[in-house]
Structure 1
Amino acid sequence: MRKSRIVTLAALVALAVTPQATAGAQPGAEQAGQPISVEALSAAATLPGSARAERLIYRSTTVGRAPTTTSAAVYFPPGEAPEGGWPVIAWAHGTVGLGDDCAYSVAGPGAVERDWAYLGTWLNQGYAIVAADYAGLGGPGEHPYLNGVVEAHNVVDAVRAATTQYPSLSNKWAVVGQSQGGGAAVFTARYATEFGGPALDYRGAVGTGVPAYIEDVLQFSGPGVPPIALSPHLTAYVLYILNGLRTTFPELGIADLLTDTGRTWTDRAQTACIGPLGEELDAANVSIGSMFARPLSTIPDVHGLLAGYMGLPESGFDRPVFLAQGLRDTDVITPETLRYFAVLHANAQPATTRTYPTDHSATVNASLADSLPFVAALFA
């Protein structure tokens, strides 16, 4: 029985997270990247200084390469497009929450001052920006949080849809991301050429505050582990991951591993944006350990399952990647991110890595001094 279940779980992992570039792998997958419609952006989601800003609805894929509809915010620099069109920066945003009203193209960035300064800098350099909402955010279905392959499809499909919809955009593009989006940028970097095909000219990637090897720590979650309340954001991230796991692997019965407290907070996280959820968790002084009735390790080969779901690619990058980490960052596990840097270098990947004496949020703009010339060289 145990062997049979392990085989079944292995098949689930393969279905949910194995990259599939073949257009006909799932019904409707061949339509991924097709624009559907254009809408006005809310004021909250409109980048100051953009000459034109719109919400683009497009076709993409979600868990198991199932077809879905999602959206992106598209920003244009002022002035006339250069010959060949505006080069594109695909913005992979950080955690905003799981509810539709949390979606980037609906509510705008969670860290408004930081992200507007960051994106405004890229805009002022003459890049158009395509900011994808990941599958399940602002569209049908649930968001499989930290499912890197799904996020990579969503980012690539947003660029494809935007370059199809807007003739003033070049097919030359790079991806830039922070936190959850830093991980999405890494996955996109690994699969951009494969997923984008010859129609798109992918050049490289930038990621800051990248969450690496989360699976190594998360696998030990269980009753009383950890026994104290962590920062509200860290607890919120775990709740989002639990939601992502039950969206990607409904057969696992994640709810059966949780206490009543755990089920209540996991359900709350399914619709909550990161700011309000963090405040509620802080007020309630909730610990991760109190949410589990049984260890997460009850799931056979839980580490393998988690690594297949969110584990960052360690090789196979075909374009340059720039990764930056703040040494005072406590939102991700900084030693694990630095370990990831070392693994990429040991594997002879085309990675440039930098550290800064900053926290999770401040690293975004601190890294511009190095990432701007890095990206400029990609398009040169």
Structure 2
Amino acid sequence: MTRRTVMTLVSAALLATGPLAGTALADPPATTAGAPGTVVSDEALPQNLWIDGTGSARRLTYWTLDASGQPALSSGAIFIPAGTPPPGGWPVLSWEHGTVGIGDDCAPSTAGRADRDMGFLATWMKQGYAIVATDYIGLGTPGVHAYLDGRAEAHAAIDMVRAARSAEDSLAAKWVAIGQSQGGGATVFTASLATGYAPELDYRGAVATGPASNIVDAAQFVGPQLPPIPSSHITAYATYVMNGLKAARPDFDLDSYLTPLGKQLVTEARTLCFTPLAEAANGITLNQLFSRSLSEGDFVATARPVMDVPPTGYDRPLFIGQGTNDTDVPAPLTAKLVADLVANGNHPEVHVYPGKDHSGAMLASLADSVPFVARLFA
């Protein structure tokens, strides 16, 4: 494998989008765990956080399950279109966001969303869909967000639908999952779990663009021996990956892989959202974080069950969109994801967008994903 290939794989595994920061959010009060989807708190969402076309919006805290099936709190927002709901209620899109950070300050339901995401979601609102948007476990709720723990993220997205329908009687039971980057990978997890996890809901299918996948395969090449990669973004994302694995698997010996500098930046990543973290990582290359290769020890065995996308369980249509010029999730990694799915008897609808980068493919995909979703709800 060439040096360029290795560096491309590493870059692909560690990059995602969504640099936002916000104000600190207090943890919700302690309460007895409820069934998945049980609402703990319900409050109006400030109008400056509304998607264009919203008629009303609320912020919820609700119960869900982590990847091991233990109760956990998540938060998120409900956006109801302006106007009168159709017969049967508003069809629902469960939005799974890209990387914003892992600290409470970064939760989109309080910190806000990037202009790109707001414009993208406004397109869906104009189609007459309600949008429910999880923050994921640990973003605005107790504990550390288990970044790239796909099952936990999927549970939070599915239980956001349950919670939203409990709080808002204008929502239909029929729903579709949709996500980008970190959220694209989470959406593929959601697609594999949705029907079995919440059989009382009417899950119709999923749309994933720039989906994070093959993280562990790429991360195996990371270590002190890696040639320097002069990207503060890659360095910042690596700290989220390591923190996320430690949150998902507390017994993982994180410190044994880190240099003193790596330990410092990994600690800072627990509270810093993407932009300030990338600034803190300026001038620090990826190899400087690690005292030994991630191919050694228990990293691979620990990370695979957390981050590897499931090869089976896809019983509804799945849309995958990918840009050829995407340097966050390069096309070869998505091609491998698709090949793995097909090898296991799945047949996703794949759309490739020539010349489009990570964000460009997300926006370009609307020409295909809007009619795809309309067919799912027909």
TM-score normalised to the size of structure 1?
0.88
| 2:368 alignment partner, one of 367, 370, 375 | 370
1:159-198 aligned at under 5 Å gives the runs: 159-197=161-199
Q: Which residue of 2 aligns with 1:354?
A: 351
Matches of 1:234 and 1:337 in 2, distance apart? 18
Per the alignment, do residues 269 and 257 of structure 1 end up closer, same or farther by CA in structure 2, a change over 3 Å counting? same
5+ residue gaps, structure 1: 1-27
Matches of 2:158 and 2:101 in 1, distance apart? 21
Per the alignment, do residues 340 and 105 of structure 1 end up closer, same or farther by CA in structure 2, a change over 3 Å counting? same
Q: Which residue of 1 aligns with 2:88?
A: 84
Contact 1:211 1:333 in 2 (8 A): no
Q: State which drifts further: 135-144 or 307-316.
A: 307-316
2:272 match: secondary structure: coil
Query: How far is 1:42 from its partner?
Result: 3.6
Q: Which residue of 1 aligns with 2:340?
A: 343
1:318 match: secondary structure: coil
- State the Cα deviation string for residues 310-346 of structure 1 (Å, max 9, x = none): 1112222000000001111111243111121222233
Contact 1:224 1:290 in 2 (8 A): no
Per the alignment, do residues 42 and 262 of structure 1 end up closer, same or farther by CA in structure 2, a change over 3 Å counting? farther
Q: Which residue of 2 aligns with 1:203?
A: 204
Q: Which amino acid aligns with 1:158?
A: M
Matches of 1:254 and 1:331 in 2, distance apart? 24
> Is 1:132 aligned with 2:130?
no
Query: How far is 1:82 from its partner?
Result: 0.7
Matches of 2:351 and 2:335 in 1, distance apart? 10
Query: How far is 1:32 from its partner?
Result: 1.2
| 2:70 alignment partner, one of 62, 66, 73 | 66
State, as a whole percentage, how many aligned pairs show the same letter. 46
1:59 match: secondary structure: strand
2:85 match: secondary structure: coil
- Relative to total residues, which structure has the larger helix share, 1 or 2? 1
- State the Cα deviation string for residues 353-373 of structure 1 (Å, max 9, x = none): 011120011111100000001
Matches of 1:29 and 1:73 in 2, distance apart? 20
Q: Which amino acid aligns with 2:248?
A: T
2:358 match: secondary structure: coil
Q: Which residue of 2 aligns with 1:278?
A: 278
- State the Cα deviation string for residues 276-296 of structure 1 (Å, max 9, x = none): 2122222xx111111111222
- State the Cα deviation string for residues 1-31 of structure 1 (Å, max 9, x = none): xxxxxxxxxxxxxxxxxxxxxxxxxxx7761
1:246-285 aligned at under 5 Å gives the runs: 246-282=246-282, 285=283
Matches of 2:341 and 2:71 in 1, distance apart? 32
- State the Cα deviation string for residues 118-175 of structure 1 (Å, max 9, x = none): 1001000000000001000011111000000000110011001111111100010000
> Is 1:142 aligned with 2:139?
no
Contact 1:86 1:169 in 2 (8 A): yes
Q: Which residue of 1 aligns with 2:7?
A: none
Per the alignment, do residues 42 and 265 of structure 1 end up closer, same or farther by CA in structure 2, a change over 3 Å counting? farther
| 1:318 alignment partner, one of 315, 320, 327 | 315
Deviating beyond 4 angstroms after TM superposition, the runs of 4 or more aligned structure 1 residues are: none
- State the Cα deviation string for residues 164-187 of structure 1 (Å, max 9, x = none): 111100010000000000011000
Per the alignment, do residues 193 and 30 of structure 1 end up closer, same or farther by CA in structure 2, a change over 3 Å counting? farther
Matches of 2:290 and 2:73 in 1, distance apart? 34
Contact 2:222 2:294 in 1 (8 A): yes
2:320 match: secondary structure: strand
Matches of 2:118 and 2:234 in 1, distance apart? 24
1:217 match: secondary structure: helix
Per the alignment, do residues 80 and 63 of structure 1 end up closer, same or farther by CA in structure 2, a change over 3 Å counting? same
Matches of 2:154 and 2:289 in 1, distance apart? 30
Q: Which residue of 2 aligns with 1:237?
A: 237
Per the alignment, do residues 372 and 160 of structure 1 end up closer, same or farther by CA in structure 2, a change over 3 Å counting? same
Matches of 1:220 and 1:42 in 2, distance apart? 44
5+ residue gaps, structure 2: 1-31
